[in-house]
Structure 1
């Protein structure tokens, strides 16, 4: 069932204030780690046979994990519906599906290293949030990688979870996180995951279809521009969704993102997004400020939505 926008806002406030503390994670791993462990176990046992068998096994595994997450969210909602402290507990539970603070902290670590002139440290920091080869990146390459990750993850870690929380409550939020985690783990086109991960990749594409465009719109609105670049260049991206926030970020900052990268030593061509110069470390700092303004706009929308909800 749909969630109270103020509950979603409260969950966002909890996550922004605390994140998921590393000390807590060391003792009680984040629920995403549980999802990942379940998926790895199923993949090891079921990813065998021909293409059709692997695809069916992948679909069954995804349904089991995402369905289990949705049932857990629904059960938790029912459990917390009665007590006076239920709203606060539901906000804490909802914060587990959001990653606004975590994303900001990871990208800010790249910014700090670049600002200090520590290129090896900046490469190491950006290597924690991107999959491309980072050993040969210069300052511009590091800044571009961080901005692209910031933009794409604004959807995956913020806009899409908020949207699914709103329309489906904790059940919708947890189901989305399960699907998105599955896509990250097994939604690849290499030989091992080509068929087993296909259902996860396609389901993730579908669940992000509208949120990604919302994320791009929030970035363009927060940046006071970028709409033209977003609508023109989003379709150039290999992903049906990631291009929207990335192109909006490029347009709002008036820089060029995308372009050639390497994965495991193999060069990959990517279309350019935007029409400005490559980003500098100063542009990364501007991107973080833009991200914070987009978060504020999302919070304002939830606040206004909560007022309408109570009418």
Structure 2
């Protein structure tokens, strides 16, 4: 089922005009945060437990409808096609020299300030998002689906959504979002390292950079695929960026010059190859089992 879902999602993607289940999870999180957030960890733990329980129950219920329905529903939790399309939408205007259009496109996939990014800044942001999202949006949910079926896939996506919405170190969310952030760290621990390895294999390099630079990343998981991508490209990622007008220091990943439009296209090719390798990995695991 996991392999079939990956293939179907890569071929057809998800209709952009359709309502996406993640939007429903987001609505729930918004409502619970507004009612429960008393800046204490206990409420945040309760949020994660409740969301995971609902995800598992929903997954079990849908699986009773049969394999075909389960595969089609599973495609909503995978992001191979959409991630490729969003990053390609940045690469095309950047390669054509249309920096304003490239900035607008990259602003759709990153949270940093993009209005003053130069060509290298746009390419860097897109490559970093591509590498990190390969773990969050592809490898982690695919592994959840492989090991635990739809309940595993839904739980992984729910935790990832909760972390992106409330797992921030702001005064308002530091305590309430603690459980969401920690849960996301746990579920992505192994997938992040698998994602890094797949990127290094697909890019025919990057192992040394990944082992050297990934531990210095602010995230315990995000640095693995990003550092692997930096090493595979022979380019330098990371470094300071601006969020809401404030500069945030970040670790430097890799060596060499900053990436350009050609490197972004190369990163997309590595990503697509890494997705194919993931298919082989999951298919092989299912065959052995």
TM-score w.r.t. length of structure 2: 0.98
2:4 maps to 1:14: no
Q: Corresponding residue for 1:4?
A: none
SS of the residue aligned with 1:188?
coil
Equivalent positions of 1:11-50 (< 5 A) are 11-23=5-17, 25=18, 29-48=19-38
Describe the superposition over 1:187-245 as per-residue Cα deviations: whole angstroms up to 9, x where unpaired.
00011111111100011001111000000000001111100000000011000000000
The structure 2 residue matched to 1:280, chosen from 245, 248, 260, is: 260
The alpha-carbon deviation at position 19 of structure 1 amounts to 1.5
The structure 2 residue matched to 1:229, chosen from 209, 216, 219, is: 209
SS of the residue aligned with 1:180?
helix
2:63 maps to 1:69: no
Aligned structure 1 segments of 4 or more residues deviating by more than 4 angstroms:
none
Equivalent positions of 1:244-283 (< 5 A) are 244-283=224-263
SS of the residue aligned with 1:208?
helix
Q: Corresponding residue for 1:210?
A: 190
Q: Separation in 1 of the partners of 2:242 and 2:263?
A: 23
If you compute each CA radius of gyration, which structure gives the higher value, 1 or 2? 1
The alpha-carbon deviation at position 301 of structure 1 amounts to 1.8
Q: Separation in 1 of the partners of 2:286 and 2:224?
A: 27
Q: Separation in 2 of the partners of 1:75 and 1:89?
A: 11
SS of the residue aligned with 2:122?
helix
SS of the residue aligned with 1:63?
helix
The alpha-carbon deviation at position 308 of structure 1 amounts to 2.3
Q: Separation in 2 of the partners of 1:61 and 1:303?
A: 34
| Stretch of structure 1 that moved more, 229-238 or 9-18 | 9-18
TM-score w.r.t. length of structure 1: 0.91
Q: Which runs of 5+ in 1 are unaligned?
A: 1-6, 81-85
Q: Separation in 1 of the partners of 2:268 and 2:160?
A: 23
Pairwise CA RMSD of aligned residues? 0.9
The alpha-carbon deviation at position 87 of structure 1 amounts to 2.0
2:136 maps to 1:156: yes
Q: Corresponding residue for 2:83?
A: 103
The alpha-carbon deviation at position 111 of structure 1 amounts to 0.4
Kindly indicate whether the alpha-carbon contact (under 8 Å) linking 2:62 and 2:69 is maintained by their aligned counterparts in 1: no
Q: Corresponding residue for 1:58?
A: 44
SS of the residue aligned with 2:77?
coil
2:113 maps to 1:123: no
